[in-house]
Structure 1
Amino acid sequence: MLVAAFYKFTPIAEPLVLREFIKSLGEQLNLLGTVLIANEGINSTLSGEPASIETFFQELESHPEINSLTIKYSETEESPFHRWKVKVKPEIVTMGIPSIDPNQLVGSYVSPTEWNTLIQDPNVILIDCRNDYEFIQGTFDGAINPETETFTQFPEFINQNLKDTNQKVAMFCTGGIRCEKATAYLRQLGHNQVFHLQGGILKYLEEIPPQESLFQGTCFIFDDRRTLDHDLKPTYTETPKT
Protein backbone atom coordinates (compact mmCIF):
# COMPACT_ATOMS: atom_id res chain seq x y z
CA MET A 1 0.00 0.00 0.00
CA LEU A 2 1.18 3.52 -0.80
CA VAL A 3 0.91 6.75 1.18
CA ALA A 4 1.00 9.90 -0.94
CA ALA A 5 1.45 13.43 0.41
CA PHE A 6 1.08 16.55 -1.72
CA TYR A 7 0.06 20.18 -1.67
CA LYS A 8 -0.13 23.01 -4.13
CA PHE A 9 -0.78 26.69 -3.70
CA THR A 10 -2.95 27.50 -6.70
CA PRO A 11 -6.08 29.65 -7.03
CA ILE A 12 -9.21 27.51 -6.62
CA ALA A 13 -12.27 29.42 -7.87
CA GLU A 14 -14.91 26.96 -6.63
CA PRO A 15 -13.62 24.86 -3.72
CA LEU A 16 -17.00 23.20 -3.13
CA VAL A 17 -17.18 21.94 -6.71
CA LEU A 18 -13.65 20.56 -6.48
CA ARG A 19 -14.53 18.95 -3.15
CA GLU A 20 -17.37 16.95 -4.69
CA PHE A 21 -15.16 15.82 -7.57
CA ILE A 22 -12.36 14.62 -5.25
CA LYS A 23 -14.71 13.08 -2.69
CA SER A 24 -16.44 10.98 -5.36
CA LEU A 25 -13.17 9.99 -7.02
CA GLY A 26 -11.61 8.85 -3.74
CA GLU A 27 -14.67 6.81 -2.83
CA GLN A 28 -14.59 5.04 -6.19
CA LEU A 29 -10.91 4.16 -5.67
CA ASN A 30 -11.28 3.11 -2.00
CA LEU A 31 -8.80 5.74 -0.81
CA LEU A 32 -8.35 6.77 2.82
CA GLY A 33 -6.97 10.02 4.20
CA THR A 34 -7.76 13.72 4.22
CA VAL A 35 -7.87 16.39 1.52
CA LEU A 36 -8.10 20.07 2.44
CA ILE A 37 -9.24 22.59 -0.16
CA ALA A 38 -9.32 26.39 0.04
CA ASN A 39 -9.26 29.31 -2.35
CA GLU A 40 -5.47 29.32 -1.92
CA GLY A 41 -4.95 25.67 -2.98
CA ILE A 42 -5.04 22.01 -1.97
CA ASN A 43 -3.26 19.91 0.69
CA SER A 44 -3.53 16.17 1.33
CA THR A 45 -2.09 12.95 2.66
CA LEU A 46 -3.87 9.81 1.49
CA SER A 47 -3.36 6.09 1.10
CA GLY A 48 -4.48 3.32 -1.22
CA GLU A 49 -3.38 0.56 -3.53
CA PRO A 50 -0.70 1.67 -6.04
CA ALA A 51 -3.02 1.38 -9.05
CA SER A 52 -5.71 3.42 -7.29
CA ILE A 53 -3.20 6.11 -6.30
CA GLU A 54 -1.97 6.32 -9.89
CA THR A 55 -5.52 6.69 -11.22
CA PHE A 56 -6.35 9.32 -8.60
CA PHE A 57 -3.48 11.58 -9.62
CA GLN A 58 -4.13 11.09 -13.33
CA GLU A 59 -7.70 12.27 -12.80
CA LEU A 60 -6.77 15.04 -10.36
CA GLU A 61 -4.10 16.55 -12.59
CA SER A 62 -6.57 16.63 -15.47
CA HIS A 63 -8.52 19.23 -13.48
CA PRO A 64 -7.85 22.69 -15.01
CA GLU A 65 -6.82 24.27 -11.69
CA ILE A 66 -4.44 21.51 -10.58
CA ASN A 67 -1.39 20.30 -12.46
CA SER A 68 2.33 19.58 -12.01
CA LEU A 69 1.96 18.25 -8.48
CA THR A 70 5.02 17.31 -6.42
CA ILE A 71 4.05 14.07 -4.68
CA LYS A 72 5.95 12.37 -1.83
CA TYR A 73 5.43 8.61 -1.67
CA SER A 74 6.11 6.10 1.09
CA GLU A 75 5.11 2.48 1.61
CA THR A 76 3.12 1.00 4.48
CA GLU A 77 1.68 -2.42 5.28
CA GLU A 78 -1.59 -0.95 6.55
CA SER A 79 -3.30 2.35 5.92
CA PRO A 80 -2.48 4.92 8.62
CA PHE A 81 -5.91 6.46 7.99
CA HIS A 82 -9.39 5.25 8.85
CA ARG A 83 -11.69 7.40 6.71
CA TRP A 84 -11.87 9.39 3.47
CA LYS A 85 -12.40 13.07 4.28
CA VAL A 86 -12.50 15.98 1.87
CA LYS A 87 -12.98 19.38 3.52
CA VAL A 88 -13.20 23.01 2.44
CA LYS A 89 -11.29 25.33 4.78
CA PRO A 90 -10.30 29.02 4.89
CA GLU A 91 -6.63 27.96 4.56
CA ILE A 92 -4.95 24.72 3.50
CA VAL A 93 -2.46 25.27 6.32
CA THR A 94 -3.55 27.64 9.06
CA MET A 95 -1.27 30.57 9.84
CA GLY A 96 -4.02 33.06 10.58
CA ILE A 97 -2.62 35.97 8.52
CA PRO A 98 -5.29 36.69 5.86
CA SER A 99 -3.08 39.10 3.90
CA ILE A 100 -0.59 36.38 2.93
CA ASP A 101 -0.96 34.98 -0.58
CA PRO A 102 1.61 32.29 -1.47
CA ASN A 103 0.22 32.36 -5.01
CA GLN A 104 1.67 35.85 -5.41
CA LEU A 105 4.95 35.94 -3.47
CA VAL A 106 7.11 33.26 -1.82
CA GLY A 107 10.77 32.56 -1.18
CA SER A 108 13.12 30.66 -3.45
CA TYR A 109 12.76 26.88 -3.72
CA VAL A 110 15.87 24.84 -2.96
CA SER A 111 15.99 21.25 -4.17
CA PRO A 112 17.05 18.46 -1.80
CA THR A 113 20.30 18.02 -3.74
CA GLU A 114 21.20 21.71 -3.21
CA TRP A 115 19.97 21.92 0.38
CA ASN A 116 23.13 20.69 2.14
CA THR A 117 25.27 23.37 0.51
CA LEU A 118 22.83 26.12 1.52
CA ILE A 119 22.46 25.18 5.17
CA GLN A 120 26.21 24.71 5.65
CA ASP A 121 26.76 28.36 4.70
CA PRO A 122 27.73 30.10 7.99
CA ASN A 123 25.83 33.22 6.91
CA VAL A 124 22.52 31.36 6.71
CA ILE A 125 20.04 31.15 9.59
CA LEU A 126 18.26 27.78 9.48
CA ILE A 127 14.72 27.71 10.93
CA ASP A 128 12.53 24.67 11.52
CA CYS A 129 8.95 25.79 10.77
CA ARG A 130 7.41 22.85 12.63
CA ASN A 131 6.20 22.64 16.21
CA ASP A 132 8.28 21.77 19.25
CA TYR A 133 6.94 18.20 19.55
CA GLU A 134 8.01 17.61 15.94
CA PHE A 135 11.42 19.23 16.34
CA ILE A 136 12.40 17.00 19.27
CA GLN A 137 11.91 13.86 17.15
CA GLY A 138 14.38 14.95 14.51
CA THR A 139 15.65 17.98 12.62
CA PHE A 140 18.56 19.31 10.57
CA ASP A 141 21.83 19.94 12.36
CA GLY A 142 22.01 23.56 13.51
CA ALA A 143 18.32 24.34 13.03
CA ILE A 144 16.58 26.85 15.30
CA ASN A 145 13.53 25.57 17.19
CA PRO A 146 10.81 28.28 17.35
CA GLU A 147 9.24 26.28 20.24
CA THR A 148 5.71 26.69 18.89
CA GLU A 149 2.71 24.52 19.69
CA THR A 150 0.80 25.51 16.55
CA PHE A 151 1.73 27.14 13.26
CA THR A 152 -0.36 30.19 14.15
CA GLN A 153 2.36 31.07 16.70
CA PHE A 154 5.08 31.12 14.04
CA PRO A 155 4.55 34.74 12.85
CA GLU A 156 5.11 36.01 16.40
CA PHE A 157 8.39 34.09 16.57
CA ILE A 158 9.50 35.78 13.36
CA ASN A 159 8.38 39.21 14.58
CA GLN A 160 10.40 38.84 17.78
CA ASN A 161 13.53 37.17 16.45
CA LEU A 162 14.15 38.10 12.83
CA LYS A 163 14.49 41.87 12.56
CA ASP A 164 17.19 42.07 9.86
CA THR A 165 15.44 41.92 6.49
CA ASN A 166 18.79 41.36 4.74
CA GLN A 167 19.55 38.19 6.71
CA LYS A 168 19.80 35.05 4.59
CA VAL A 169 17.16 32.62 5.90
CA ALA A 170 16.55 28.96 5.06
CA MET A 171 13.38 27.25 6.28
CA PHE A 172 12.00 23.74 6.16
CA CYS A 173 9.04 21.65 7.34
CA THR A 174 7.61 18.16 6.86
CA GLY A 175 6.28 18.30 3.30
CA GLY A 176 6.99 21.88 2.24
CA ILE A 177 3.66 23.58 2.82
CA ARG A 178 4.34 25.35 6.12
CA CYS A 179 7.78 26.59 5.10
CA GLU A 180 6.41 27.85 1.78
CA LYS A 181 3.72 29.84 3.58
CA ALA A 182 6.32 31.02 6.10
CA THR A 183 8.45 32.40 3.27
CA ALA A 184 5.41 34.27 1.96
CA TYR A 185 5.10 35.92 5.38
CA LEU A 186 8.78 36.89 5.46
CA ARG A 187 8.62 38.27 1.93
CA GLN A 188 5.59 40.33 2.95
CA LEU A 189 7.67 41.76 5.81
CA GLY A 190 10.39 42.81 3.37
CA HIS A 191 12.90 39.96 3.73
CA ASN A 192 14.59 39.40 0.39
CA GLN A 193 16.89 36.41 0.94
CA VAL A 194 14.45 33.68 1.90
CA PHE A 195 14.79 30.04 0.88
CA HIS A 196 12.81 26.88 1.58
CA LEU A 197 13.33 23.16 1.08
CA GLN A 198 11.26 22.03 -1.90
CA GLY A 199 9.15 19.03 -0.94
CA GLY A 200 10.18 19.35 2.70
CA ILE A 201 11.89 16.75 4.84
CA LEU A 202 9.96 13.93 3.18
CA LYS A 203 11.36 14.72 -0.27
CA TYR A 204 14.83 15.20 1.19
CA LEU A 205 14.75 11.77 2.84
CA GLU A 206 13.47 10.26 -0.40
CA GLU A 207 16.27 11.72 -2.54
CA ILE A 208 19.33 12.04 -0.29
CA PRO A 209 21.28 8.88 0.69
CA PRO A 210 21.64 8.37 4.47
CA GLN A 211 25.42 8.72 4.27
CA GLU A 212 25.02 12.24 2.80
CA SER A 213 22.09 13.32 4.96
CA LEU A 214 22.26 16.21 7.43
CA PHE A 215 18.90 15.28 8.94
CA GLN A 216 19.18 13.78 12.40
CA GLY A 217 16.55 11.59 14.08
CA THR A 218 13.13 10.74 12.70
CA CYS A 219 10.45 12.80 10.96
CA PHE A 220 7.18 13.33 12.84
CA ILE A 221 4.02 12.88 10.77
CA PHE A 222 0.36 13.44 11.62
CA ASP A 223 -1.02 9.92 11.28
CA ASP A 224 -0.83 6.49 12.90
CA ARG A 225 2.75 5.93 11.73
CA ARG A 226 3.89 8.65 14.16
CA THR A 227 7.43 9.11 12.77
CA LEU A 228 9.40 7.98 9.71
CA ASP A 229 13.04 6.93 9.59
CA HIS A 230 15.48 7.89 6.83
CA ASP A 231 14.14 5.09 4.63
CA LEU A 232 10.62 6.53 5.08
CA LYS A 233 9.63 3.49 7.11
CA PRO A 234 7.23 4.00 10.04
CA THR A 235 8.53 3.74 13.59
CA TYR A 236 5.13 3.86 15.38
CA THR A 237 6.77 5.80 18.22
CA GLU A 238 4.44 7.50 20.68
CA THR A 239 5.11 11.23 20.57
CA PRO A 240 3.57 13.25 23.41
CA LYS A 241 2.39 16.76 22.68
CA THR A 242 3.28 19.35 25.30
Structure 2
Amino acid sequence: MDDELEALINAAAQAAWAKEPSRQLVDAIEQHIVVPLPHWLKTTLGRDEAAQLARVIAWERCQELAVKRPDAGVTWGYLANLVRWRLIDAARAEVLRRQRHLLTPTLPEAESQGMPLLGLHLDRIVAELERYGLPSAVSRELMRVAADGPPFYRSTIISRLRLSGVTQSQAEGLAWLLRGSPSKPSALARLAAGQPDKQVFTDLTVRTWLKAAAGRDLLFFGRWTSETCWYELARSA
Protein backbone atom coordinates (compact mmCIF):
# COMPACT_ATOMS: atom_id res chain seq x y z
CA MET A 1 0.00 0.00 0.00
CA ASP A 2 3.00 2.30 0.52
CA ASP A 3 3.65 2.49 -3.23
CA GLU A 4 -0.01 3.22 -4.02
CA LEU A 5 0.42 6.96 -3.45
CA GLU A 6 3.38 7.13 -5.81
CA ALA A 7 1.40 5.29 -8.48
CA LEU A 8 -1.55 7.63 -8.12
CA ILE A 9 0.67 10.72 -8.32
CA ASN A 10 2.39 9.29 -11.43
CA ALA A 11 -0.93 8.58 -13.11
CA ALA A 12 -2.34 12.04 -12.37
CA ALA A 13 0.83 13.86 -13.45
CA GLN A 14 1.23 11.88 -16.67
CA ALA A 15 -2.41 12.66 -17.55
CA ALA A 16 -1.72 16.39 -16.97
CA TRP A 17 -3.94 16.23 -13.88
CA ALA A 18 -6.98 15.20 -15.88
CA LYS A 19 -10.29 14.68 -14.12
CA GLU A 20 -10.40 10.90 -13.66
CA PRO A 21 -6.86 10.21 -12.37
CA SER A 22 -7.08 13.33 -10.21
CA ARG A 23 -10.38 12.13 -8.75
CA GLN A 24 -8.76 8.79 -7.83
CA LEU A 25 -5.96 10.64 -6.06
CA VAL A 26 -8.47 12.89 -4.24
CA ASP A 27 -10.50 9.88 -3.09
CA ALA A 28 -7.35 8.21 -1.77
CA ILE A 29 -6.33 11.41 0.07
CA GLU A 30 -9.75 11.43 1.73
CA GLN A 31 -9.34 7.84 2.89
CA HIS A 32 -5.68 7.90 3.95
CA ILE A 33 -5.20 11.51 5.14
CA VAL A 34 -8.47 13.27 5.97
CA VAL A 35 -10.43 10.52 7.72
CA PRO A 36 -7.60 9.51 10.14
CA LEU A 37 -6.90 13.11 11.28
CA PRO A 38 -6.30 13.26 15.06
CA HIS A 39 -9.34 14.21 17.10
CA TRP A 40 -7.54 17.05 18.89
CA LEU A 41 -6.76 18.76 15.58
CA LYS A 42 -10.42 18.55 14.55
CA THR A 43 -11.45 19.94 17.92
CA THR A 44 -8.97 22.84 17.84
CA LEU A 45 -9.53 23.91 14.24
CA GLY A 46 -13.10 22.73 13.81
CA ARG A 47 -13.98 19.47 12.03
CA ASP A 48 -14.80 21.02 8.65
CA GLU A 49 -11.91 23.49 8.73
CA ALA A 50 -9.37 20.80 9.63
CA ALA A 51 -10.63 18.47 6.90
CA GLN A 52 -10.58 21.17 4.23
CA LEU A 53 -7.10 22.34 5.23
CA ALA A 54 -5.87 18.74 5.10
CA ARG A 55 -7.28 18.28 1.57
CA VAL A 56 -5.67 21.47 0.29
CA ILE A 57 -2.30 20.80 1.91
CA ALA A 58 -2.22 17.18 0.73
CA TRP A 59 -3.12 18.16 -2.85
CA GLU A 60 -0.42 20.85 -2.94
CA ARG A 61 2.18 18.41 -1.60
CA CYS A 62 1.18 15.79 -4.19
CA GLN A 63 1.72 18.30 -6.99
CA GLU A 64 5.12 19.18 -5.54
CA LEU A 65 6.03 15.50 -5.13
CA ALA A 66 5.19 14.89 -8.78
CA VAL A 67 8.08 17.20 -9.66
CA LYS A 68 10.57 16.49 -6.87
CA ARG A 69 10.48 13.41 -4.67
CA PRO A 70 12.53 12.42 -1.62
CA ASP A 71 15.21 9.76 -2.04
CA ALA A 72 13.33 7.43 0.30
CA GLY A 73 10.27 7.51 -1.95
CA VAL A 74 6.72 8.66 -1.44
CA THR A 75 4.43 6.92 1.04
CA TRP A 76 1.11 7.70 2.69
CA GLY A 77 2.92 8.01 6.02
CA TYR A 78 5.30 10.59 4.58
CA LEU A 79 2.43 12.63 3.16
CA ALA A 80 0.45 12.33 6.40
CA ASN A 81 3.38 13.77 8.36
CA LEU A 82 3.68 16.73 5.96
CA VAL A 83 -0.02 17.47 6.34
CA ARG A 84 -0.07 17.10 10.13
CA TRP A 85 2.94 19.37 10.60
CA ARG A 86 1.14 22.14 8.72
CA LEU A 87 -2.08 21.52 10.64
CA ILE A 88 -0.23 21.59 13.96
CA ASP A 89 1.20 25.01 13.01
CA ALA A 90 -2.32 26.19 12.16
CA ALA A 91 -3.66 24.82 15.47
CA ARG A 92 -0.89 26.56 17.42
CA ALA A 93 -1.69 29.86 15.69
CA GLU A 94 -5.40 29.41 16.46
CA VAL A 95 -4.72 28.76 20.16
CA LEU A 96 -2.57 31.91 20.36
CA ARG A 97 -5.28 33.92 18.59
CA ARG A 98 -7.87 32.79 21.13
CA GLN A 99 -5.55 33.71 23.99
CA ARG A 100 -5.09 37.22 22.59
CA HIS A 101 -8.78 37.71 21.81
CA LEU A 102 -10.59 35.98 24.61
CA LEU A 103 -13.63 38.21 24.30
CA THR A 104 -14.38 37.16 20.75
CA PRO A 105 -13.72 33.46 20.04
CA THR A 106 -17.24 33.69 18.54
CA LEU A 107 -19.55 36.64 18.10
CA PRO A 108 -21.89 36.93 21.13
CA GLU A 109 -25.58 36.59 20.37
CA ALA A 110 -27.99 39.22 21.59
CA GLU A 111 -30.74 38.02 23.88
CA SER A 112 -34.19 38.04 22.36
CA GLN A 113 -35.59 40.50 24.90
CA GLY A 114 -33.00 43.14 24.63
CA MET A 115 -29.70 43.71 26.38
CA PRO A 116 -26.61 42.14 24.76
CA LEU A 117 -24.65 39.65 26.82
CA LEU A 118 -21.73 42.07 27.01
CA GLY A 119 -23.96 44.59 28.77
CA LEU A 120 -25.05 41.93 31.26
CA HIS A 121 -21.43 41.06 32.01
CA LEU A 122 -20.56 44.72 32.59
CA ASP A 123 -23.58 45.02 34.89
CA ARG A 124 -22.29 42.08 36.92
CA ILE A 125 -18.93 43.81 37.35
CA VAL A 126 -20.68 47.05 38.37
CA ALA A 127 -22.71 45.10 40.94
CA GLU A 128 -19.54 43.57 42.38
CA LEU A 129 -17.86 46.97 42.60
CA GLU A 130 -20.93 48.22 44.46
CA ARG A 131 -20.55 45.33 46.93
CA TYR A 132 -17.00 46.55 47.52
CA GLY A 133 -18.28 50.05 48.31
CA LEU A 134 -18.11 51.91 44.98
CA PRO A 135 -21.44 53.63 44.13
CA SER A 136 -23.18 52.24 41.06
CA ALA A 137 -23.31 55.63 39.31
CA VAL A 138 -19.57 56.05 39.74
CA SER A 139 -18.85 52.53 38.53
CA ARG A 140 -20.87 53.12 35.37
CA GLU A 141 -19.12 56.43 34.74
CA LEU A 142 -15.73 54.75 35.09
CA MET A 143 -16.84 52.00 32.68
CA ARG A 144 -17.79 54.68 30.16
CA VAL A 145 -14.42 56.40 30.52
CA ALA A 146 -12.54 53.09 30.20
CA ALA A 147 -14.43 52.18 27.03
CA ASP A 148 -13.99 55.64 25.46
CA GLY A 149 -11.43 54.34 22.98
CA PRO A 150 -9.90 53.00 20.80
CA PRO A 151 -7.26 51.90 21.43
CA PHE A 152 -8.26 49.41 24.10
CA TYR A 153 -4.82 48.52 25.38
CA ARG A 154 -4.61 48.22 29.14
CA SER A 155 -2.15 51.13 29.29
CA THR A 156 -4.46 53.47 27.38
CA ILE A 157 -7.43 52.48 29.53
CA ILE A 158 -5.36 53.35 32.61
CA SER A 159 -4.38 56.70 31.08
CA ARG A 160 -8.00 57.62 30.34
CA LEU A 161 -9.07 56.69 33.85
CA ARG A 162 -6.21 58.62 35.42
CA LEU A 163 -7.23 61.74 33.46
CA SER A 164 -10.71 61.40 34.97
CA GLY A 165 -9.19 61.83 38.42
CA VAL A 166 -9.04 58.32 39.91
CA THR A 167 -6.01 56.94 41.69
CA GLN A 168 -3.41 54.81 39.95
CA SER A 169 -4.53 51.71 41.84
CA GLN A 170 -8.18 52.25 40.89
CA ALA A 171 -7.27 52.78 37.23
CA GLU A 172 -5.13 49.64 37.17
CA GLY A 173 -7.79 47.57 38.94
CA LEU A 174 -10.50 48.62 36.48
CA ALA A 175 -8.20 48.04 33.50
CA TRP A 176 -7.45 44.51 34.67
CA LEU A 177 -11.14 43.80 35.26
CA LEU A 178 -11.97 44.84 31.69
CA ARG A 179 -8.86 44.05 29.63
CA GLY A 180 -6.61 41.56 31.42
CA SER A 181 -3.82 39.83 29.50
CA PRO A 182 -3.24 36.45 27.77
CA SER A 183 -1.85 34.96 31.00
CA LYS A 184 -4.42 36.65 33.26
CA PRO A 185 -7.84 36.82 31.56
CA SER A 186 -9.98 39.73 32.71
CA ALA A 187 -13.17 39.25 34.69
CA LEU A 188 -15.08 40.42 31.61
CA ALA A 189 -13.33 37.84 29.39
CA ARG A 190 -14.03 35.04 31.85
CA LEU A 191 -17.71 35.95 32.07
CA ALA A 192 -17.91 36.14 28.27
CA ALA A 193 -16.29 32.71 28.05
CA GLY A 194 -19.15 31.29 30.11
CA GLN A 195 -17.54 30.89 33.52
CA PRO A 196 -20.07 31.08 36.41
CA ASP A 197 -20.26 34.37 38.30
CA LYS A 198 -19.30 32.70 41.57
CA GLN A 199 -16.18 31.15 40.06
CA VAL A 200 -15.08 34.47 38.57
CA PHE A 201 -15.74 36.77 41.52
CA THR A 202 -14.41 34.46 44.24
CA ASP A 203 -11.09 34.15 42.42
CA LEU A 204 -8.37 35.74 44.56
CA THR A 205 -6.86 37.71 41.65
CA VAL A 206 -10.23 39.12 40.57
CA ARG A 207 -11.05 40.06 44.17
CA THR A 208 -7.75 41.96 44.36
CA TRP A 209 -8.65 43.88 41.19
CA LEU A 210 -12.13 44.65 42.58
CA LYS A 211 -10.69 45.99 45.82
CA ALA A 212 -8.24 48.19 43.94
CA ALA A 213 -10.94 49.47 41.55
CA ALA A 214 -13.20 50.30 44.50
CA GLY A 215 -10.40 52.27 46.20
CA ARG A 216 -9.91 49.78 49.02
CA ASP A 217 -6.39 48.67 48.13
CA LEU A 218 -4.58 50.68 50.79
CA LEU A 219 -1.15 49.47 49.69
CA PHE A 220 -1.41 51.35 46.39
CA PHE A 221 -3.43 54.46 47.20
CA GLY A 222 -2.72 57.54 45.12
CA ARG A 223 -3.00 61.14 46.20
CA TRP A 224 -6.81 60.95 46.58
CA THR A 225 -8.74 58.87 49.02
CA SER A 226 -11.51 56.74 47.59
CA GLU A 227 -14.17 58.91 49.30
CA THR A 228 -12.79 62.08 47.67
CA CYS A 229 -12.64 60.40 44.29
CA TRP A 230 -16.23 59.19 44.49
CA TYR A 231 -17.43 62.64 45.54
CA GLU A 232 -15.63 64.43 42.70
CA LEU A 233 -16.83 61.98 40.07
CA ALA A 234 -20.42 62.06 41.32
CA ARG A 235 -20.35 65.87 41.36
CA SER A 236 -19.03 66.11 37.78
CA ALA A 237 -21.43 63.49 36.36
Taking structure 1 as the reference length, the TM-score comes to 0.26
Greater fraction strand:
1
Taking structure 2 as the reference length, the TM-score comes to 0.26
Q: Which fold has the larger relative contact order, with Cα–Cα distance below 8 Å and residues 6 or more apart in sequence?
A: 1
Greater fraction helix:
2
